[in-house]
């Protein structure tokens, strides 16, 4: 979803996340990458809604 908004920024954030891979817990990594944890309430529904919007546009 981030890559659709700004591919270059999303790629840079992904590479930075990979670089930090084994240095922190999963939750810390998610937070540091400014992502929504899949364990948070509502996380899945946000992704599903984005998929629905994308499929309607296609």
Per-residue pLDDT of the chain (58 residues; tens, 9 = 90+): 888 889 999 999 889 888 888 888 988 998 888 888 888 898 899 889 888 988 887 5
Q: What is the pLDDT of residue 9?
A: 92
Q: What is the pLDDT of residue 32?
A: 86
Q: What is the pLDDT of residue 11?
A: 92
DSSP character for 7?
A: H
H-run or E-run covering 38: none
Q: Which positions ≥6 away from 18 have C-beta within 8 Å?
A: none
Q: What is the pLDDT of residue 58?
A: 58
pTM over 0.85? The answer is no
DSSP 2-46: HHHH-HHHHHHHHHHHHHTTTTS-HHHHHHHTT---TTSTTHHHH
> Dihedral of CA 47/52/57/58: which sign?
positive
């Amino acid at each position: 979803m981030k890559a659709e908004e700004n591919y270059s920024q999303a790629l840079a954030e992904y590479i930075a996340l990979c670089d930090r891979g084994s240095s922190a817990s999963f939750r810390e990594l998610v937070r540091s990458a400014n992502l929504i944890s899949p364990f948070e309430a509502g996380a899945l529904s946000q992704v599903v809604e984005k998929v629905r919007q994308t499929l309607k546009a296609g």
